[in-house]
Chain A
Amino acid sequence: MTPAAAPPWDDDPVPLDIVVGGGEGTPEVRVAGELDLHGSDALVARVRALARPGGSLRLDLAGITFIDSTGANALLRIDRDARHAGAAEVRFVVVRGGPVARLLELTGLVDTLDLETRSRGDAGTA
């Protein structure tokens, strides 16, 4: 067999892409992939240091293809941490009828977070 056929034993990636953009004090984090127990802690840790007193934090979740209650809890932790750090605005961008919007409705958390709802197919804002 060629080396390319070797099993990736040591490859254990979190099934989540996290890209940080935006400016100092107004970071925008784009998250794509599957947000479950496997990626939740990594996401919370990655975002934790970004919030600034009086600044804003924006999480674009339009690329999330799967989320469960553990992932929803991670969003609550991110919101709480950022506000605790003094962020004036913590906003989550979700797709109308998409996995995140649906799960937040299902778990009754839809009014707990500041959501910016985007229609499916809308271009990104960054």
Chain B
Amino acid sequence: MPGQPDGDVAHVTPPPGATPSARVPVLLRAPATADSLTVARQVAAGVAHAAGMEDERVEDVRIAVTEACTNAVRHAYASGEPGVLTLASWVAAGSLFFSVRDRGRGFGEGEEGPGVGLLTIRALAGEVDVRSSPLGTEVTMRFPLVPYG
């Protein structure tokens, strides 16, 4: 998918209706615990509003980001092992992107990965990209900023 949380993102022109803050990529680093979910989706909703997204689509973002973070909280780290989850968001190519990354154990091909949560994300986001290795899992979601252009 286009765009990365760093690089030339700051030069992307946000769509009409977006506030200038939508130009700025956002990083949230939080403990991979259940009480981080509230702040993660609040940040995501704030970013989505700033990007000019409609209320109903902001709800989609809130749910999808919570699902991705929940997978990191529940599945990434062994029980009792402290872990970190990182939420990144950026605007590129007319879309708002969110990526949730953990540094947990990942899940391999054929293994049962994060199930219902990922299905829910697929139902909400325009595009989803999941990368998982023994060094961690990264779930990137794209939400088109329409209508514009």
B116 touches A73 (CB 8 A): yes
What's the minimum C-beta distance from B19 to chain A, rounded to whole angstroms?
A: 24
Q: Cβ of A2 < 8 Å from any Cβ of B?
A: no
Q: Which of B36-74 contact A (CB under 8 A)?
A: 37-38, 41, 59, 62-63, 66-67, 70, 73-74
**Given the complex, which residues of A lie within 8 Å of B123, measured CB to CB?**
106-107
| CA gap between A26 and B116 in the complex, in Å | 32
On whether A107 and B66 interact (CB within 8 A), knowing A15-B38, A37-B34, the answer reads no
Chain A interface (Cβ < 8 Å from any Cβ of B): 12, 15, 34, 36-38, 66, 68-70, 73, 99, 102-103, 106-107
| CA gap between A22 and B6 in the complex, in Å | 55
| CA gap between A66 and B64 in the complex, in Å | 12
B34 touches A68 (CB 8 A): no
Q: Which of B58-115 contact A (CB under 8 A)?
A: 59, 62-63, 66-67, 70, 73-74
| CA gap between A107 and B70 in the complex, in Å | 16
B116 touches A37 (CB 8 A): no
A69 touches B38 (CB 8 A): no
On whether A106 and B120 interact (CB within 8 A), knowing A37-B74, A38-B35, the answer reads yes
| CA gap between A98 and B57 in the complex, in Å | 14
What's the minimum C-beta distance from B86 to chain A, rounded to whole angstroms?
A: 18
Q: Cβ of B124 < 8 Å from any Cβ of A?
A: yes
Determine the residue in chain A with the shortest Cβ distance to B33. Answer: A38
Chain B interface (Cβ < 8 Å from any Cβ of A): 34-35, 37-38, 41, 59, 62-63, 66-67, 70, 73-74, 116-117, 119-120, 123-124
**Given the complex, which residues of B lie within 8 Å of A68, measured CB to CB?**
63, 66-67, 70, 117, 120
Q: For chain B, what secondary structure do more than half of its interface residues adopt (helix, strand, loop), or is it mixed?
A: helix
Q: For chain A, what secondary structure do more than half of its interface residues adopt (helix, strand, loop), or is it mixed?
A: helix
B41 touches A66 (CB 8 A): yes
What's the minimum C-beta distance from B121 to chain A, rounded to whole angstroms?
A: 9
**Given the complex, which residues of B lie within 8 Å of A107, measured CB to CB?**
116, 119-120, 123
Determine the residue in chain A with the shortest Cβ distance to B74. Answer: A37
**Given the complex, which residues of B lie within 8 Å of A73, measured CB to CB?**
116
| CA gap between A28 and B47 in the complex, in Å | 38
What's the minimum C-beta distance from B101 to chain A, rounded to whole angstroms?
A: 18
**Given the complex, which residues of A lie within 8 Å of B38, measured CB to CB?**
15, 34, 36, 38
| CA gap between A68 and B63 in the complex, in Å | 6
Determine the residue in chain A with the shortest Cβ distance to B62. Answer: A66
What's the minimum C-beta distance from A100 to chain B, rounded to whole angstroms?
A: 12
